Amino acid sequence: MTRHTIAPLVVLMTTVFGALVTSLDVFFRMSYVLALALVTSYILARLNLHGLSVKVIKPNSRAQVGGYFEEEITVFNSGRMPRVRLEVKESSDLPGHNAGGVVNLPGRRKQGGLLVPGQRSLRVRTLCSRRGVFIVGPVKLASSDPLGFFRLERSFGRQDWITVWPATADISGLRVASMEFPGEKNARNLSSYYTALEASSVREYVQGDGINKIHWPSTAHHRKLMVKEFDAGRLARVWLLLDMERRVQAGYGAEATDELAISVAASIANRLLGMDMPVGLISYGGSRCFVPAHRGNTQLTQILNALASLKAEGKERLDRVILEEQKAISRYDTIVAISPSTDNAWVRVLGDMSVRREGVCAVLVDPSDFGGMDATPCLNELTRQGFPYYLVKRGRPLSASLSTPGTGSAGPRLRDQPDRMEAR
């Protein structure tokens, strides 16, 4: 029932009351006419929704900030009579998604001896401005009678979820230095290094191969000495430590430090996975987010999905997160910490770790650009600690920010992946 229905109902009740009180024919005739009009209008509105069906085609359930989410909504009419002024609307909390319109549907017709329903299609193209997981659907069809007394709705389909990934930038200028292996002169370190590696294949023994590298099951099968080959790249992982503590964030909505930090993490992951480097993600938002380090497009999808749903609702400081998670990080791995925090504690923790490893890098998202704290003291501490860092500022392209290391830094020493390393 709409507000247009209330007025004729009030008039109908008034005329009925007048007819009963005065017994005048004019009130009876008005009552009959209004009652007939209301009943007829309701029936027409109901019939206009009868025999309809809806099909929604979504080519992809994922999109990216700056890209478009596209779909096609087709309404079918299997009845003989045409349907006029049907309102099509799709429920959604995706910002800017206003899928809908008014369509007139022809009735079914014969085509090649078959009855073909009438149909109309709406193509929807929505610019994605915010990352996240959003609900799309169901589709609602609304019908009104010619007099506008009644507005009836029917829902079709179900709710679907659309994942909008954070934006990524081309950061090909990110400097990546060569991976360094433990010195062969240090036999103990070299032995422990190989022990941690995973064997990727076996080959025939050649003079100089270590006895401890012999793969005995393969040797028995081939009846000749076979040795294991090790993939050093399996151990040299890159861990993105993303600070999602609520207290250190600044800004609001899409213009906030957490959104920029997430875009930084997505861009670095996209860059390094494109170089076939194993990348993992650790972050403490509303809950612990841990994506184990792997390679490939599937891993990029996993990381982007995780970043899309992250919220800056964490309570743990980044320095505590680093200390808590260091047990999952090998001494040969690279750590990239991304934070808007001006607290020097996390910088000192990374500085202590850089003494034992060379794969340490920091990305500071300047909170002062978003109305937050001055980052100068933190920048001074980063310079004093000596490991490489980047400063990301609001409005500056990431391609520029992540290709220019901070003052006093030689640039991050992220580790390249050698094709293969053989035991000698």
Each domain of the chain, given as residue ranges in start order, spans 52-165, 198-231, 235-415
Between these two residues, 88 and 333, which has the higher pLDDT value? 88
pLDDT band for 354, please (50, 70, 90 cuts).
confident
Question: Confidence band (pLDDT; 50, 70, 90) for 221?
Answer: confident
Distance, in Å, from the CA atom of 53 to the CA atom of 263, rounded to the nearest integer, reads 41
Q: What is the mean pLDDT of the chain?
A: 84
Question: In the 8-state DSSP scheme, what is residue 166?
Answer: P
Cβ neighbors of 139 (< 8 A, separation 6 or more) are 54, 56, 73, 88, 89, 90, 91, 155, 156, 157
The whole-angstrom separation of Cα 132 and Cα 285 is 14
pLDDT of residue 207: 66
* pLDDT at residue number 5: 66
The DSSP line for 316-333 is S-HHHHHHHHGGGS-TTS
Please say if the pLDDT value at position 220 is more than 70.
yes
Q: Is 309 helix (H, G, I), strand (E, B) or coil?
A: helix
pLDDT by residue (tens digit) across 397-413?
A: 999 999 877 655 444 44
Concatenate the DSSP letters of all residues of 384-399 into one string.
Answer: HH-S-EEEE-TTS-HH
Assign domain 52-165 one CATH number from 3.30.420.40, 1.10.10.10, 2.60.40.10, 3.40.50.970: 2.60.40.10
What is the pTM for the complete model shown? Answer: 0.77
CATH 3.40.50.410 fits 235-415, yes or no: yes
Residue with tokens 């609900």: 135
pLDDT at 228 over 80: no
Tokens of 385: 């600690």
Lookup result for tokens 């861009």: 267
Binning pLDDT at 50, 70 and 90, where does residue 236 land? confident
What is the mean pLDDT of the segment spanning 150-178? 85
267-316: pLDDT as tens digits? 999 999 998 889 999 999 989 999 999 999 999 999 999 999 999 999 99
Digit-coded pLDDT (tens) for 92-110: 999 999 888 999 999 998 8
- 109-141 residue pLDDT tens: 888 878 899 999 999 999 999 999 999 989 999
Q: Give yes or no for a contact between 175 and 405, defined as CB atoms under 8 angstroms apart.
A: yes
The fraction of the chain above a pLDDT of 70, given in percent, is: 85
C-alpha 267/C-alpha 66 separation (Å) is 14
253, 255, 258, 263 alpha-carbon torsion, rounded to 10°? 120
Residue 384: per-residue pLDDT: 93
